[in-house]
Amino acid sequence: CMPPAVVHSGFEDHWDADQFHYIHHVKFECNYGGPLSAWMDIACGTFRDKLGASSEYRGAYRDDDEAVGKTARREWSAQSHLGVQSEDHLAYSIFCLGTAALLVYSVLRAGEGLPLPMPAQIVSALVAYGPIVVACLLSFGYDGMHWRWPFHRERIFGRFGLFVVAAWATCVVPIHHFVTLLCA
């Protein structure tokens, strides 16, 4: 239930991180799916096995660092993958693990006809909206980048807003309703 919200939260070093797809979040022109659909990226020449120069990538895009051989500081770097988590990433991981535990506990209790630890609507709201809200709150306190990075140049009431509404309608709302159904 949680992967769309968790994987697109902006926090890469948590328990549900998809490092294959995070290369897409850094480069935007590769690794469009997940690890199970990597064969499509390989067939189309858009597969990257790592950040930086990739012997696998056959696409046309070359960023400035690769073109001139510079090394620049990046928010996402090869050194951060599966490394020791920073305070904000650790807080996010703990929240996600706690939410997953609450979800499993609630579903098991509902399946046995026992009362839930909290109403099903609250459990479903925590699962569907919680990772997004916590990621936003943590980004305001810890992240030095704009809260909408890399879409900070887009107008809120334009393409960015349209995609936020589309993501909410196609990811968050169905997750909310599915978890409510599981806990009923």
Torsion of Cα atoms, 171 then 172 then 177 then 183, to 10°: 110
Cα(116)–Cα(113) distance, integer angstroms = 9
Is residue 148 very low, low, confident or very high in pLDDT (cuts 50, 70, 90)? Answer: confident
Q: How sure is the predictor about 169, in pLDDT bands with cuts at 50, 70 and 90?
A: very high
pLDDT tens-digit map of 21-63:
777 767 777 777 766 777 777 887 778 877 777 777 777 666 6
Q: Name the token pair of 42.
A: 């390989």
Are 72 and 65 within 8 A, CB to CB? yes
Phi (first) and psi of residue 98, to 5 degrees: -65, -40
Q: pLDDT (tens digit, 9 = 90+) per residue, 82-94?
A: 455 678 878 888 9
Q: Is the dihedral of CA 7, 10, 16, 20 positive or negative?
A: positive
If you average pLDDT over every residue of the chain, what do you get? 76
- The more confident residue out of 156 and 1 is 156
pLDDT class of 150 with cuts at 50, 70, 90: low
Q: Helix or strand or coil: residue 77?
A: coil
Integer Cα distance of 51 and 81 in angstroms:
11
Cα distances (Å, whole numbers) of residue 129 to 36, 63, 114, 117, 145: 26, 35, 25, 18, 22
- Are the C-beta atoms of residues 41 and 30 closer than 8 Å to each other? yes
Quick one: the chain helix, strand, coil %, rounded to 5? 55, 0, 45
